[in-house]
Structure 1
Amino acid sequence: MATSSLHQSFHHHRFTTTSPDSIFFKPTKSFKLFSYVSPPSSLTTTSASGVAPATAGAAAAATPFDVLASHLSSSDYRQADEETRRLLIALAGEAAQKRGYVFFSEVQFIRAADLREIDLLWRMHSGGRFGYGVQRRLWEKSDRDFTRFFIRVGWMKRLDTEVEQYGYRSFPGEFLWELKEHTPEGHLPLTNALRGTQLLRSILTHPAFEDSEAAEGEEHSEQGGGTGTEEEEKKKPKLEGARRSLKPDYSF
């Protein structure tokens, strides 16, 4: 079966958007935000049954997710975040690959099995604290309020003001690239929301995570995460006065 070529390189770019419907890489001359690893030479295609076609030798064992798995297994979450972004473009289809960014409406074309694989790798190599499935659960617990969700996963920070206000973290320096005790649950992977949240909403509402939502919630409860205890309620971010300070300068 033919494979889709992914010989694309993204160097010295900043992730941003021009509309609520799209995300893309914008060149910047000021400084280098991230350095992409060499992408896999091709994205292995699969049959309708989800089984990859047999090939000879070592190539038979290779998968499109090997680079991501390698970064995550070595706890290189920064590179894993960039590789996840590259994978979304690759998996969204030929148009997204040629364009170099994903329209929110193209998320539906990503196979559920592929999104689950990405999510599984993130959860497996973070003790269940990172991944889209984790973010979906926290988004639901935030009543699908993105402002509350952004604060909860640490994408926004409390400002040093008398009135309780929050601002977006700047990419990449203010994000947490190590898994420590104080690292917020669901902090990674990142999804750009410079001019809107439609892309993130499309990912979090993808059918890939609908069946696993209940199981994820049960797993979190068994691990001591709670399901609405008094202690958890106290930890929820207070948003009184926060909305007035928000500006659409989400730059990661």
Structure 2
Amino acid sequence: MLSGRTPTQDLSIDKLLDRFANGSARQRRATAVALEKAADALAAVAAEALKPYEPSGDDWAAGWILQVLRRHQPEALARIPRVESDGWFETPSARGIDYSPMQRALLDEDFEEADRLTSCVLRELAGDQAEKRGYVYFSEVPPMEGLDLATLDRLWIAYSQGRFGFTVQARLLKALDGRYDRLWPRIGWKLDGTWTRYPGAFQWSMEAPEGHMPLINQLRGVRLMDALLSHPGLQPRI
């Protein structure tokens, strides 16, 4: 008689973590679910669980481990260096920008706040005039620091199971032959004359379509998004 149990449910926490770090993409997805169910055991080895991953990288497995602990065993995060202060992932900035608030928002899965902070960073990178007017012109994107755009992208990827971020949007656009009119429905954005954020229509959750976040203001056409996704600082990551 079948028990209804999946193979991962019978693995020890050490074996689950090994499969999570070294398994195929399909194995990782299945193991992510099993790790959440084993949150108590995960908390007992919290710091050890992150050893296979680099804080300078964007491996979503590390972000997932941190999010599972935040949801179920938040006290375990105090045993992991940097998580409660600056954030576990390194966030280099050529402009001295503090990314810890954004990393905390993503860790908490407060994607709406993370999106707001992303917009703030883009305005800061664009310069004083963009900050004063409250939005960025496409012509202000090329001089932006590539290091900071890469940091933004890494954080989104690391805390979204690899589903959100500028380079995710760029890869989807490339697969759709550069057609923005095909990209919008694919990532769940809506059209009504101009591209904009619709009250209640945007999904601030992990269940949103791949590439759904961060939201890029399209009120003045697609040139701002085009400039961001083609920025040289992001190209090595696409």
Q: Aligned partners of 2:95, 2:228: CA distance in 1, in Å?
A: 23
Return the match for 1:200 from 225, 228, 234: 225
Correspondence for 1:185: 210
Q: What residue number does 1:41 align with?
A: none
Matched, 1:146 2:170: no
Matched residues, percent identical? 39
**Aligned-partner SS, 1:208:** coil
CA distance in 1, matches of 2:172, 2:215: 14
Q: Which has the higher contact order (CA 8 A, sep 6+)?
A: 1
Residue among 71, 95, 115 paired with 2:129? 95
Letter in 2 for 1:104: F
Given the alignment, which residue of 111, 114, 124 partners 2:145?
Answer: 111
In 1, distance between residues paired with 2:181 and 2:232? 23
* Matched residue, 1:124: 158
Comparing 129-138 with 148-157, greater Cα deviation is found at 148-157
Q: Find the counterpart in structure 2 of residue 38 from structure 1.
A: none
Pairwise CA RMSD = 2.7
Q: Which one has the bigger strand percentage? A: 1
8 Å CA contact retained: 2:164, 2:212: yes
Amino acid aligned to 1:88: L
Match of 2:115 among 74, 77, 81: 81
2:196/2:219 contact within 8 Å kept? no
The equivalent of 1:135 in structure 2 is: 169
Aligned CA distance change for structure 1 residues 85 and 170 (closer, same or farther; 3 Å): closer
SS of 1:96's equivalent in the other structure is helix
> Helix, strand or coil: the match of 1:211?
helix
- Secondary structure of residue in 2 paired with 1:108: coil
**Separation in 2 of the partners of 1:86 and 1:78?**
13
Q: Would the aligned equivalents of 1:169 and 1:175 in 2 still touch at CA under 8 Å?
A: no
Query: Normalising by structure 1, what TM-score?
Result: 0.54
How far is 1:170 from its partner? 5.3
Q: In the TM superposition, what are the counterparts of 1:193-232 in structure 2 within 5 Å?
A: 193-213=218-238
Residues 187, 211 of structure 2: 8 Å contact kept: yes
Instruction: Determine whether 1:68 maps to 2:102.
Output: yes
Q: Give the superposition deviation at 1:172.
A: 3.1
Deviation at 1:110, TM superposition (A): 1.2
Q: What is the rounded CA distance, in whole Å, between the counterparts of 1:51 and 1:82 in structure 2?
A: 19
Structure having the higher helix fraction is: 2
Structure-2 separation of matches of 1:137 and 1:184: 14
Which deviations, in whole Å up to 9, do the C-alpha atoms of 1:214-250 show, x marking residues without a partner? xxxxxxxxxxxxxxxxxxxxxxxxxxxxxxxxxxxxx
Offset of 1:96 from its aligned partner? Answer: 1.8
Structure 2 counterparts to residues 240-251 of structure 1, below 5 A: none
Deviations 1:41-63 (A, max 9, x none): xxxx96xxx596xxxxxxxxxx5
Which ranges in structure 1 are unaligned for 5 or more consecutive residues?
1-44, 53-62, 158-166, 214-252
The amino acid that maps onto 1:65 is: Y
Unmatched segments (≥5 aa) in structure 2: 1-91
Question: Which residue type is aligned with residue 118 of structure 1?
Answer: L
- By how many angstroms is 1:192 displaced? 1.2
